[in-house]
Structure 1
Amino acid sequence: MIKFSILIANYNNGKYFKECYDSLMNQTYGNWEVIIVDDASTDNSVEIINSLIKDHSQFKFYHNSVNQGCGYTKRECMKYAEGDICAFLDPDDALYPEALEATIHEFIHKKDIVATYSQMMLCNDNLIPEKVFEKTREIYNDRYFFNCPTQFAHFFAFKREIYHKTSGINASLRSAVDQDLYLKILEHGNIRYIKEPLYLYRLHSNGISQQDAKQNAKESFAKVIHETMKRRGIQKINNKIVPEIFTNSREIYELLNYQTHKLHRLIKRIKVSLKM
């Protein structure tokens, strides 16, 4: 039976973890483990998590001695994972009960895929569903696909053996960590779209710090895309030269402007329909 590793990098999300935990305990698929790595939280996360998981051997809890950031902590999660299939779950989010079962089903019936992704449900601060994230769609994966503009996010699950064929999660990244992982995994095979929401994504109150975080993520994502272009040996994009050295995010995003044009999107939709 295929084993599923759910990976949780926690930092100061103790007040939300109970709903995350409950969603895992309610899964319809039984063969799973949860790897939690706490990044030196300053709230009561450790006490809350310990009190919930203490009687459940499927949960394994590790700690960073000092705060290391998202990239480092997610890489640590992968270090401890033993499952055939892995997926990250943020501690302030949750999964639908059938999330693991639906994902495993795809890997069983589509032997050639390296990953799956689903729709996700956007929720308010109380994790009450509001609407499906509308940008998620079926993609055509080639060396010029960078998930920019965003076409998939959660729930992303991947084969652990494929992860170990990549350079792994970049421990120095503090944002755009997931985007970097997506692009690395997609360089090794096909991906399957599950057209139903499996992931409950919590939208927090939109404060100034969140706006700053979004801008930092945009900058980090541009660096990730540039590194991906270099890793794939791409020297030109749509007849424009890829800069040898990253200087600013604007010139990277300008290279990909053509991917938002209607003709390009139409061609991609046709390619997607032909591969089905």
Structure 2
Amino acid sequence: MKFSILIAHYNNAALFRDCYKSLRKQTYPDWEAVILDDASSEKEKEEIQSIIQGDERFKFFENKKNSGVGFTKSKLIELATGEICGFVDPDDAILPTAIESAVHVFKQKKNAVLTYSRFMICDKDLNPIAPFKSAMQVKNGDPYFFNYPIQMAHFITFRKDVYEQTEKINPALKIAEDQDLYLKMYEKGDVYFIDDTNYLYRTHAGGISQNNNKEKSYDYFAQVVFNTMKRRNLISINGKKIPEHYSSYQEIFSLLEYQHGILYRIKKKISITLQKIFR
């Protein structure tokens, strides 16, 4: 079972070497790394190609023009030749058994369409700061699951053939393209939580998802959630009508506030426990 590591790169070569080293340490042998550069500077592209030179498992491609992360990640999946895919950002890294543990689930669970695990928040030098504590097994087959608050996160891996049965990643997305992928895959089968820390998430000033424009991030995520509601043909949530058209992230996320309640969380925990027993 071949695994495709997908890397969307844009002017991040200075931090890529750690990512590269982590991939070469993988205990699972059958993998490729597909890098798609989104019109970085020539110096940046040359540095990436210099790092991967001599290792045929690494494949380098370029967008003709800067096209954004949604387009780039969608194209990366098209370029992948593996049965299983997983995204790794060029400034992050994965632990040695990350791929092996994911492939093990897909081999054992034929109904699994996606796996995810825990990630460690790190400083600019990849020194651990704190684990992402919200990661946990979610209830499968729930039309009202929108990964809000976020529980499914790095290290995400998925079956490429199942992805191709979805509407695929919206190429117009500049942020929240990962959430778009997760929710579309969730609708096609079961997702499995691997209770290990498999991903090192680097925090630094140049991180795309770490900028100060939080409202734009919320807005993109809310649009993904709204489109998911429409795709699932939902009319109302917890007695509240879903609007016909998207207006603001406040309106969309207000529909999901009930999921923070104690009673809801207790019921969810019971459902997930039963799911673990009978799956």
Residue 192 of structure 1 is matched in structure 2 by: 192
Question: Which structure 1 residue ranges, 5 or more long, are not aligned?
Answer: none
Residue 70 of structure 2 is matched in structure 1 by: 71
Residue 269 of structure 1 is matched in structure 2 by: 269
TM-score normalized by the length of structure 2: 0.95
Residues 72-122 of structure 1 show CA distances to partners (whole Å, capped at 9, x for unaligned) of 110110110111100100000000001001111111111111110001111
Residue 140 of structure 1 is matched in structure 2 by: 139
Residue 41 of structure 1 is matched in structure 2 by: 40
The alpha-carbon deviation at position 44 of structure 1 amounts to 3.1
CA distance in 2, matches of 1:104, 1:150: 23
Alignment of 1:124-139 (within 5 A): 124-139=123-138
Residue 56 of structure 1 is matched in structure 2 by: 55
Same amino acid, percent of matched pairs = 46
The alpha-carbon deviation at position 128 of structure 1 amounts to 0.9
Q: What secondary structure is seen at the aligned counterpart in 2 of 1:44?
A: helix
CA distance in 2, matches of 1:160, 1:167: 13
* Structure 2 counterpart of 1:271, one-letter code: S
CA distance in 1, matches of 2:112, 2:7: 24
Instruction: Assess if the C-alpha contact under 8 Å between 1:70 and 1:175 holds in 2.
Output: yes
Alignment of 1:114-263 (within 5 A): 114-141=113-140, 142-205=142-205, 210-263=210-263
The alpha-carbon deviation at position 211 of structure 1 amounts to 4.2
Instruction: Assess if the C-alpha contact under 8 Å between 1:12 and 1:43 holds in 2.
Output: no
* Structure 2 counterpart of 1:152, one-letter code: M
Residues 161-181 of structure 1 show CA distances to partners (whole Å, capped at 9, x for unaligned) of 110000111110000000000
CA distance in 1, matches of 2:272, 2:215: 31
* Structure 2 counterpart of 1:215, one-letter code: E
Q: What secondary structure is seen at the aligned counterpart in 2 of 1:151?
A: coil
CA distance in 1, matches of 2:180, 2:103: 23
CA distance in 2, matches of 1:123, 1:214: 20
CA distance in 2, matches of 1:71, 1:247: 22
Pair 206,92 (structure 1): closer, same or farther in 2 beyond 3 Å: closer
TM-score normalized by the length of structure 1: 0.96
Dislocated runs of 4+, deviation >4 Å: none
Residues 228-268 of structure 1 show CA distances to partners (whole Å, capped at 9, x for unaligned) of 00000001000100001001111100000001111111111
Q: What secondary structure is seen at the aligned counterpart in 2 of 1:167?
A: coil
Pair 61,249 (structure 1): closer, same or farther in 2 beyond 3 Å: same
Residues 9-43 of structure 1 show CA distances to partners (whole Å, capped at 9, x for unaligned) of 00111110000000001100000011110001137
The alpha-carbon deviation at position 152 of structure 1 amounts to 1.7
Residue 5 of structure 2 is matched in structure 1 by: 6
Coordinate RMSD, CA, aligned: 1.6
The alpha-carbon deviation at position 215 of structure 1 amounts to 2.4
* Structure 2 counterpart of 1:101, one-letter code: E
* Structure 2 counterpart of 1:17, one-letter code: F
Residue 94 of structure 1 is matched in structure 2 by: 93
Residues 121-155 of structure 1 show CA distances to partners (whole Å, capped at 9, x for unaligned) of 11001111122111111111311000001112100
Residue 105 of structure 2 is matched in structure 1 by: 106
CA distance in 2, matches of 1:144, 1:130: 33
CA distance in 2, matches of 1:229, 1:10: 31
Q: What secondary structure is seen at the aligned counterpart in 2 of 1:171?
A: coil
